[in-house]
Chain A
Amino acid sequence: MSESINVTLKVWRQNGPGEAGRFETYPLENVSTHASFLEMLDILNEKLINTGKMPVAFDSDCREGICGSCGLMIDGQAHGPDRETATCQLHMRRFSDGDTITIEPWRARSFPILKDLVVDRSAFDRIIEAGGYNSINAGNAPDANAILIPKIDAEAAMDAAACIGCGACVAACKNASALLFVSAKVMHFARLPQGKPERETRVARMVAKMDEEGFGSCTNTTECEAACPKGISFSNIVSLRRESMRAQCSGRSTR
């Protein structure tokens, strides 16, 4: 493999929310294959700044795959071609010399574009505010084994808790549904004793908020699971359906 490649970038540029955007093409030469995708964008931006142009706005923070800021649609795939990989963990060795790479922001009505590749994902925050928390007094950290949790539940809750809220599920879903995100948060709590007292109201409120925010409806295509950088299982969505029905049937969902 050669140590550096030449690529052509087709990047979505948009000055502000609600404005018309367009693709701009930037040739980029001698990109190290060791560079991460975001470092490659940094190189592009340095070049743009040096020639007096506006750099491309994109979100990033930890650059180690745990913060969930860096969501980009790369060649039509959320976070690029690799499975269980956030954009920041994608490297240029994954591309070939002469490739044209199309970079777009997440596209959903509920994720309005702020600038270029940056979208406003506060709809997720509002869904969390609607019920993605515990408000009971869970006390101090309990003694080990004072609260018994079956291994299978602890593991499943932990897997669901791995969701970093990046929005790739919404971006990849043909319906722009947020159900994988919501189900991860709901099932993270519902499986643990501390989350159980509020489980009925939690699922009802979070689903209602999700609908209110204008996300689409899940049609079980499992595209979200394939796009998720944290490998959140689609089975959380199926569990959410049971959780939702359980809440409806208990009559406690509106308390």
Chain B
Amino acid sequence: MKGKPFFSSVVQKLVIGITGLLLCGFVAAHLAGNLLLYSTSDRYAAFNKYATTLHDMTLLPAIEIGLLVLFVVHIGLTLRMQFQSQKARPEGYAVQKSKQGRGALAARNVMHLSGIVVLAFVLLHLADLRFGLRFNEAGLAPAQTVLQVLRDPISAMFYTVGSLLLGYHLFHGFQSSFQSLGFGGERLTRIVKIVGILFSVAIAVGFASLPIWVTLLRK
């Protein structure tokens, strides 16, 4: 067929789902590392050792490029999808009400908004800790740098809100990804939903706990 698009809307959603799940894996690994910060003994030795080992990895640049690709594909295809959907309904309804309880602010309806906030959070986070654009005091141990960033009120606020909204994004995103991948059946769907809720809550609470902990207890 001529003029046929390279991939269908179904495949597009599949790729958004796969990249989303891979990013979930990254986020989980990232959180596991972060939680080492709670081990304060010996001047955060556990966290410092983990951070130094990670930064010295030869494969790190390759992993970073891989992550960048995941982000770009996930966001790029979502924007494309959003654009197509907006075109699909040029004129909206005067009144619109869900038949599913919980209204317009349900996670499933605000994925683009939660996604934008998470993206802004990730960019600030990269500026803070990957590129050291706002804090670049030399000679600090990794844990000290992190604490310095988390003591900054702007970062602390943004990191808390960003983490919570990331959890909200995953509240729909996690189970939705599996649906896009074609994981069906009543039992499996139920399991995926429960795991998704637990996962998103763990991510939100886990990440947001750090800036709150630092702000309240580690002045």
For chain A, give the interface size range.
35 or more
Q: Which residue of A lies closest to B183 (CB)?
A: A238
Residues facing A in B97-115 (CB within 8 A) are: 97-100, 108-109, 111
Q: Which residues from A are CB-within-8-Å of B108? A: 219-222
Q: Do the beta carbons of B176 and A211 come within 8 Å of each other?
A: no
Q: Across the interface, do A241 and B10 meet the contact criterion of CB distance under 8 Å?
A: yes
Q: What are the residues of chain B within 8 A of A107 when measuring CB–CB?
A: 89, 91-93
Report A93 CB to chain B, min CB distance, Å. 19
Are A226 and B98 in contact, CB atoms less than 8 angstroms apart? yes
Whether A108 is near chain B, meaning CB under 8 Å from some CB there, is yes
Quick one: which of A33-88 are within 8 Å of B by CB?
73, 75-78, 81, 83
Q: B148 at interface (Cβ–Cβ under 8 A)? A: no
**Interface: B39 (CB within 8 A):** no
- For A245, give the chain B residue with the smallest CB separation: B182
Asked if residues B85 and A109 are in contact (CB atoms below 8 Å), the reply is no
Residues of A contacting B95 with CB < 8 Å? 73, 75-76, 102, 104
Q: In the complex, are the beta carbons of A240 and B10 less than 8 A apart?
A: yes
A184 within 8 A of B: no
**Binary contact track A241-254/B, C-beta < 8 Å → 1, others 0:** 11011001000000
Contact with A217, one of B85, B109, B111 (Cβ below 8 angstroms):
B85
Chain A residues 18-36 with CB under 8 Å of chain B are 23
Task: Map CB proximity to A onto B1-39 as digits: 1 under 8 Å, 0 otherwise.
Answer: 100110011111110000000000000000000000000
A residues 106-155 near B (Cβ < 8 Å) are: 107-110
Contact: A219 with B100, CB < 8 Å?
no
Q: How far is the CA of A78 from the CA of B13 in the complex (A)?
A: 25
Contact (Cβ within 8 A) A241 B14: yes
Contact B87 A77 (CB under 8 A): no
Residues of chain B at interface, number, CB under 8 A: 42
Please tell me if the beta carbons of B99 and A83 are within 8 angstroms of each other in the complex: yes
Distance (whole angstroms) from the CB of B170 to the closest CB of chain A: 13
Q: Tell me whether A223 is interfacial, beta carbon within 8 Å.
A: yes
Contacting residues of chain A (204-227) with chain B, CB-CB under 8 angstroms: 204, 207-208, 210-211, 214-223, 226-227
Q: Given A77-B99, A207-B9, A244-B8 in contact, is the A239-B184 Cβ separation under 8 Å?
A: yes
The answer to whether B89 and A108 have CB atoms under 8 Å apart is: yes
Give bound CA distance, A227 to B97, whole Å: 11
- Flag if A108 contacts B8 (CB, 8 Å): no
B187 nearest CB across to chain A (Å): 12
Q: Tell which of B11, B87, B172, B182 touches A109, judged by Cβ atoms closer than 8 Å.
A: B87
CB distance A242 to B184 under 8 Å? yes
> Which A residues lie within 8 Å of B96 (CB)?
73, 76-77
The CA of A65 and the CA of B77, in the complex, are separated in Å by 39
Distance of A240 Cα from B184 Cα, bound (Å): 10
CB-nearest residue of chain A relative to B177?
A220
Question: B10 contacts A109, CB within 8 Å?
Answer: no
Q: How far is the CA of A219 from the CA of B4 in the complex (A)?
A: 22
Task: List the B side residues contacting A238 at CB < 8 Å.
Answer: 179, 182-184, 189
Distance (whole angstroms) from the CB of B34 to the closest CB of chain A? 29
**Contact A174 to B109, CB < 8 A, known contacts A216-B84, A238-B182:** yes
| Closest partner residue, chain B, to A74 (CB atom) | B95
Q: Does B61 contact A (CB under 8 A)?
A: no
Which chain A residues lie closer than 8 Å to B57 at the CB level?
none
With both beta carbons as reference points, the residue of chain A lying nearest to B80 in the complex is identified as A217
Residues of A within 8 A of B11 (CB): 244, 248
- Residues of chain A within 8 A (CB-CB) of B4 are 208
Interface centre among B5, B89, B94, B96 (most CB of A within 10 A): B89
Q: List 16 A-B contacts (CB under 8 A).
A: A23-B94, A73-B95, A107-B91, A172-B99, A176-B88, A177-B88, A207-B8, A207-B10, A210-B9, A211-B5, A215-B88, A218-B13, A226-B98, A238-B179, A238-B189, A244-B8
A residues with a Cβ closer than 8 A to B are 10, 23, 73, 75-78, 81, 83, 102, 104, 107-110, 172, 174-177, 179, 204, 207-208, 210-211, 214-223, 226-227, 235, 237-242, 244-245, 248
B interface residues with partner A (beta carbon < 8 Å): 1, 4-5, 8-14, 81, 84-85, 87-100, 108-109, 111, 172, 175-176, 179-186, 189
| With A109-B88, A217-B12 already in contact, 18 other A-B pairs whose C-beta atoms are closer than 8 Å | A75-B97, A108-B88, A176-B88, A179-B10, A207-B9, A214-B87, A215-B88, A216-B89, A217-B81, A218-B9, A218-B10, A226-B98, A235-B189, A238-B179, A238-B184, A239-B182, A240-B10, A244-B10
